[in-house]
Chain A
């Protein structure tokens, strides 16, 4: 295998790591990762995966950039206001790393399109901000047997864990059904400290790279809970629930569900 001088220099700090090397960097280059959401979490995920050299990165979002996004969604800059988020995201990723295949999907994922979108990817990252989509993504990744890296943030808090189908618990093992309408605030109602998105998003990006490399211990069966007011990082063991409605012994969710939007 001959490597170009640019390739060696660009990825030199990865290659030095004994867990990566030239072989590992090639694995990163051959990997296909889908990032759902180009917002607070999707921003650091997309930027770090592009910088790391993930060869194919899909990014899906239906929104346009709003002034109120810029406090935490570091993919987007002031001149991007009004542009589709995926267009802004793709541009930034290509500027960081022109060698990549970036695939923007300017659409909301729903039960009609998600299976078709995720089928081409090795790993899915959840950077969405609402429960209907989060459950849909969990279910779709379970059906398609794709590893899913979950993350969520609110106020000063965040959480992350990694779902490897049949190897550990899924999102529904912990939260069987979406919360009732109006019972849980979202970012626009409750607020979010911008940098918390960076903490959780970079945890997600790191989980993706570990999954690609097959190194270390991912957050499979462990929920990372971060409270930045205390700056505490705690882990809770989570187990597969035999009564889980999707991956349990007698599944009741056997096809994708479009839950109603509540906000």
Chain B
């Protein structure tokens, strides 16, 4: 399976809830349907909350994985 390439990315490490979701949402608003956004999120509340909120908006979470620095890398497909 070929790796999906993100069309855009957001580094939200150090950004608290719910502003991390708000920034994700605003970025997704300006992207085309079907395109991919990669988001870097902190462990704890951010990784617990942001993917859930993104799903509730109807977008698809393609992948969530732990990165080397202890943070998470999430790939979203815009609905």
Using a CB–CB cutoff of 8 Å, the interface residues on chain A facing chain B are 1, 3, 8-9, 12-13, 15-16, 18, 21-23
Which A residues are CB-close (under 8 A) to B67?
Answer: none
**Does B19 lie within 8 Å of A1, measured CB to CB?**
no
B68 at the A interface (CB under 8 A): no
**Does B22 lie within 8 Å of A15, measured CB to CB?**
yes
**Does A8 lie within 8 Å of B22, measured CB to CB?**
yes
**Does A22 lie within 8 Å of B29, measured CB to CB?**
yes
Which A residues are CB-close (under 8 A) to B30?
Answer: 1
**Does A15 lie within 8 Å of B26, measured CB to CB?**
yes
A-B contacts, 15 listed (Cβ < 8 Å): A1-B30, A3-B26, A8-B19, A8-B23, A12-B19, A12-B22, A15-B26, A16-B18, A16-B22, A16-B53, A18-B57, A21-B25, A21-B29, A22-B25, A22-B29
Which A residues are CB-close (under 8 A) to B29?
Answer: 21-23
Given contacts A16-B18, A16-B53, A21-B25, 11 further A-B contacts (CB under 8 A): A1-B30, A3-B26, A8-B22, A9-B19, A13-B18, A15-B22, A15-B26, A16-B25, A18-B57, A21-B29, A22-B29
Using a CB–CB cutoff of 8 Å, the interface residues on chain B facing chain A are 18-19, 21-23, 25-26, 29-30, 53, 56-57
Nearest-Cβ distance from residue B31 to partner chain A, whole angstroms: 12
Nearest-Cβ distance from residue B56 to partner chain A, whole angstroms: 8
Nearest-Cβ distance from residue A21 to partner chain B, whole angstroms: 6
Nearest-Cβ distance from residue B17 to partner chain A, whole angstroms: 10
Which B residues are CB-close (under 8 A) to A1?
Answer: 30
Nearest-Cβ distance from residue B32 to partner chain A, whole angstroms: 14
**Does A16 lie within 8 Å of B21, measured CB to CB?**
yes
Nearest-Cβ distance from residue B46 to partner chain A, whole angstroms: 14
Q: Which of B25, B30, B53 has the most CB of A within 10 A?
A: B25
Nearest-Cβ distance from residue A243 to partner chain B, whole angstroms: 47
The 9 closest A-B pairs by CB, nearest first: A22-B26, A12-B22, A15-B22, A22-B29, A8-B22, A16-B18, A12-B19, A18-B57, A21-B29
